[in-house]
């Protein structure tokens, strides 16, 4: 601990979001600095690198208007933390942590560093409590459980925000939470356009569920985009593990986050990896995604639903690829289904929930859940194969049985995948069974 704040006016260069400061005699890595521009505006920055008495500082927010001579840098001797309080519920904040709803900021109950600490793997409880999302394609075939991280892989132009909105509207925990536990949504948006912002705000306000939102707009500073998911998760950890809530965190859009990461990395002159993204992107994404989970003996949970827009619809692009390696499955949206007018346009074949096994069956959903899911999956996969065959030999060239399968595939998409209203998991399973029965398929 230093006894007094010390300030410097020894900036040697400013480059993008980076400032080089000289003749610094004491500072910490990761320390927060306050930067006062000549016009008196204040912004924050973080110590990124120390080399002798030269310090590299990364500025959160705009560097426009800073100069070498008159800009003052004040060292605070603390690392980036945010104030936390239960009064944050129902509030909307910007990515610089200022309230966007015009009400003063809540009084902090405690403070926590935004980067968090890794959860001890032996403290983790295995995720196994079913979350009913109300969507058949998820509940029936790719079941979500509490503490899971399940991304939505979308493509440009697909209704990912409408899918997220239906999840927000429909998602419930099956067993009553009781004991003062509650269900809270933390919403983190990176690089949002106004159009999207408007849509999400309207959805959140209609919800009547407790939520906290952090909004980084498309024209907000890029550096803040890197902080947004961390704000959201720090709040989520507080609500989950100190206030015993079941928290659903929605992060959209991780593609904007990764692009910001690349932009900052390039500014730091780091070695670029695949497609220019930094080599540490896996670890960086993991430091976000891995904050989801449950703790043994603790009441709350963090479930994470990030949205990733796949550039060029390519699932092997580094962003969806690295995301898929960290998360426990993925929900893949399909352009083809969207064009057919199916909503939600979820392609169940490449979609997967790795933790499904833990959350279904007797006592959780229904004893025959696994069996029904496997059968639907099998028949639908066969129908998709048949479609390819049909394109070659024509419908006439198929056997009677193949034609039935083909029709089943269409009905499955129109009636099971597509939905306008919330379905309980029991309704979903019954629907699946009746669909197979209607086509005389073996169950």
Partner 1 sequence: MREIPGTITGISGPTVIAEVKGVRLYDRVYVGRQMLTGEIVRIEGDRAVIQVYEDTRGLALGEPVRSTGMALTVRVGPGLLSNIFDGLQRPLKRLEEDMGFFITGGKELYGLDYLRRWRFYPLKKKGEEIRYGEIYGYVEEGPFKHYLLSTRDGIIRWIADGEISLNETLAELEDGSELFGCEEWPVRKPRPFKRKLSPGEPLITGQRAIDLLFPLARGGTAILPGGFGTGKTILEQSIAKFADVDIVVYVGCGERGNEMAEMLEEFMKLTDPWRGRPLMERTILVVNTSNMPVAAREASIYTAVTMAEYYRDMGYHVLFLADSLSRWAEALREISSSLEEMPGEEGYPTYLASRLAGFFERAGIVETLAGRIGSLSMILSVSPPGGDFTEPVTQACLRTAGAFLMLDTSLAHRRHFPAINWFQSYSLYTGELMEFFNKKISPEWSILRQRCNEILQKEESLREVVEIVGMEGLQDSDRLLMHIAERIRLEFLCQNAYTEDAFSPPERTVERLKALIDLYDRTLELIRKGTPFEEALR
Contacts with partner 1 in 11-40 (CB under 8 A)?
Answer: 24-31
At closest approach, how far in Å is the CB of 112 from partner 1?
10
* Count of residues engaged in binding partner 1, rule: CB under 8 A: 77
Q: Write each residue from 384 to 423 as x if it is in contact with partner 1 (CB under 8 A), else as -, in one continuous string.
A: -----x--xx---xxx------------------------
360 scored as a contact of partner 1 (CB under 8 A): no
Tell me which H or E stretch contains 173: strand 172-173
Question: How many other C-beta atoms are found inside a 10 Å radius of the C-beta of residue 86?
Answer: 13
Contacts of 184 by beta carbon, 8 Å cutoff, 6+ apart? 89, 209, 210, 211, 212, 239, 245, 246, 247, 248
From 15-23, 178-186, 375-383, 422-430, give the range in contact with partner 1 by CB under 8 A. Answer: 375-383
Are 267 and 15 within 8 A, CB to CB?
Answer: yes
User: Contacts with partner 1 in 103-162 (CB under 8 A)?
Assistant: 113, 115-127, 147-148
Binding residues for partner 1 restricted to 330-359, rule: CB under 8 A: 330, 349-350, 352, 354-355, 357-358
Binder among 11, 322, 383, 429 for partner 1 (CB under 8 A): 322
* Residue 97 touching partner 1 (CB under 8 A): no
Residue among 62, 162, 242, 321 that touches partner 1 (CB under 8 A): 321
In the complex with partner 1, the residue whose CB is nearer, 50 or 100, is: 50
Per-position DSSP letters for 342-378, written without gaps between them: -SS-EEEEEEEETTHHHH-STTTS-TTHHHHHHHHHH
Do 209 and 183 meet the contact criterion of CB atoms below 8 Å apart?
A: yes
CA dist 209 and 154 (Å) reads 26
State the nearest-atom distance from the C-beta of 116 to partner 1, in Å: 7
Nearer to partner 1, 357 or 434 (CB): 357
Q: 410 Cβ partners below 8 Å, 6+ apart?
A: 383
Q: Pull the structure tokens for residue 328.
A: 């426990």
Give the residue with the Cβ less far from partner 1, 197 or 289: 289
Report in angstroms how near the CB of residue 275 gets to partner 1 at its nearest: 10
177 binds partner 1 (CB under 8 A): no
Would you count residue 100 as binding partner 1 (CB under 8 A)? no
Q: Rounded to the nearest whole angstrom, what is the least distance from the CB of residue 270 to partner 1 in the complex?
A: 7
Reported as half-sphere exposure (CB side, CA atoms, 13 A), residue 16 has a value of 12
Selected binder of partner 1 within 93, 241, 380, 412 (CB under 8 A): 241
Among 298, 387, 395, 414, binds partner 1 (CB under 8 A): 298
Which is closer to partner 1, CB of 153 or CB of 200?
Answer: 153
Q: Do 155 and 331 touch, CB atoms closer than 8 A?
A: no
Q: Which residue from 258, 260, 253 is spatially nearest to 197, judged by alpha carbons?
A: 253
Q: Is 93 helix (H, G, I), strand (E, B) or coil?
A: strand
């Amino acid at each position: 601990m230093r006894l007094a704040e010390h300030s410097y006016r020894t900036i040697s260069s400013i480059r993008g979001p980076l400032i080089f400061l000289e003749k610094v005699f004491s500072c910490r890595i990761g320390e927060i600095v306050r930067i006062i521009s000549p016009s008196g505006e204040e912004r924050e920055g973080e110590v990124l690198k120390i080399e002798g008495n030269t310090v590299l500082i990364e500025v959160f927010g705009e560097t426009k208007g800073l100069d070498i001579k008159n800009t003052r840098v004040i060292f605070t001797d603390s690392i980036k933390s945010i104030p936390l309080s239960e009064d944050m519920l129902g509030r909307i904040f910007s990515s610089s942590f200022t309230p966007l709803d015009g009400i003063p900021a809540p009084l902090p109950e405690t403070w926590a560093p935004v980067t968090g600490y890794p959860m001890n793997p032996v403290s983790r409880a295995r995720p196994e409590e079913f979350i009913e999302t109300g969507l058949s394609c998820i509940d029936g075939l790719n079941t979500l459980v509490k503490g899971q991280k399940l991304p939505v892989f979308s493509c440009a132009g697909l209704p990912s925000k409408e899918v997220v909105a239906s999840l927000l509207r429909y998602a419930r925990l099956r067993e009553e939470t009781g004991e003062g536990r509650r269900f809270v949504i933390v919403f983190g948006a990176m690089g949002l356009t106004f159009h999207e912002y408007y849509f999400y705000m309207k959805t959140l306000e209609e919800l009547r569920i407790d939520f906290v939102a952090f909004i980084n707009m498309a024209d907000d500073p890029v550096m803040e985009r890197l902080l947004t998911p961390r704000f959201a998760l720090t709040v989520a950890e507080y609500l989950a593990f100190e206030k015993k809530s079941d928290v659903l965190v929605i992060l959209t859009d991780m593609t904007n986050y990764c692009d910001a990461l690349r932009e900052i990395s390039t500014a730091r002159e780091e070695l670029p990896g695949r497609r220019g993204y930094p080599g540490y992107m896996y670890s960086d994404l993991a430091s976000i995604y891995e904050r989801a989970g449950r703790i043994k003996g603790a009441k709350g949970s963090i479930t994470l639903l990030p949205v990733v827009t796949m550039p060029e619809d390519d699932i092997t692009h580094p962003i969806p690829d690295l995301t898929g390696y960290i998360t426990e499955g993925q929900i893949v949206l399909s352009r083809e289904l969207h064009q057919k007018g199916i909503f939600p346009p979820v392609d169940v074949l490449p979609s997967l929930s790795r933790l499904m096994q833990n959350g279904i069956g007797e006592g959780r959903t229904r004893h025959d859940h696994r069996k029904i899911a496997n059968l639907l999956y099998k028949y639908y996969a066969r129908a998709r194969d048949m479609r390819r065959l049909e394109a070659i030999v024509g419908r006439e060239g198929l056997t009677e049985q193949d034609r039935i399968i083909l029709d089943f595939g269409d009905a499955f998409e129109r009636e099971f995948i597509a939905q306008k209203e919330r379905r309980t998991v029991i309704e979903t399973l019954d629907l699946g069974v009746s669909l197979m029965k209607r086509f005389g398929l073996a169950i």
